[in-house]
Amino acid sequence: MSTFLATLLLFALVMGGMALGLAGGRSLKGSCGGKEGSCTCTQRDRRACEQKRRAA
């Protein structure tokens, strides 16, 4: 039972770390826009995103 609890705690810590952005040190951002609506996507990228969105 202690192995199960240790494993559960480890998974919880890893998932919590990923949720906080500790794994990889990167912040969350949108595919096009991100913070404050700044967009660095090209027209080609936007079309590809729209096609993927329509296919889903």
Q: What is the percentage of the chain residues whose pLDDT exceeds 70? A: 62
Give the span between the Cα atoms of 39 and 32, in whole angstroms: 5
- Between CA 31 and CA 45 the distance in angstroms is 9
Q: Considering the chain, what is the average pLDDT of its residues?
A: 76
Q: Give the pLDDT of residue 7.
A: 97
Range 16-38 average pLDDT: 63
CA distance 46 to 15: 31
How do the domains of the chain map onto residue ranges? 2-55
pTM of the model: 0.41
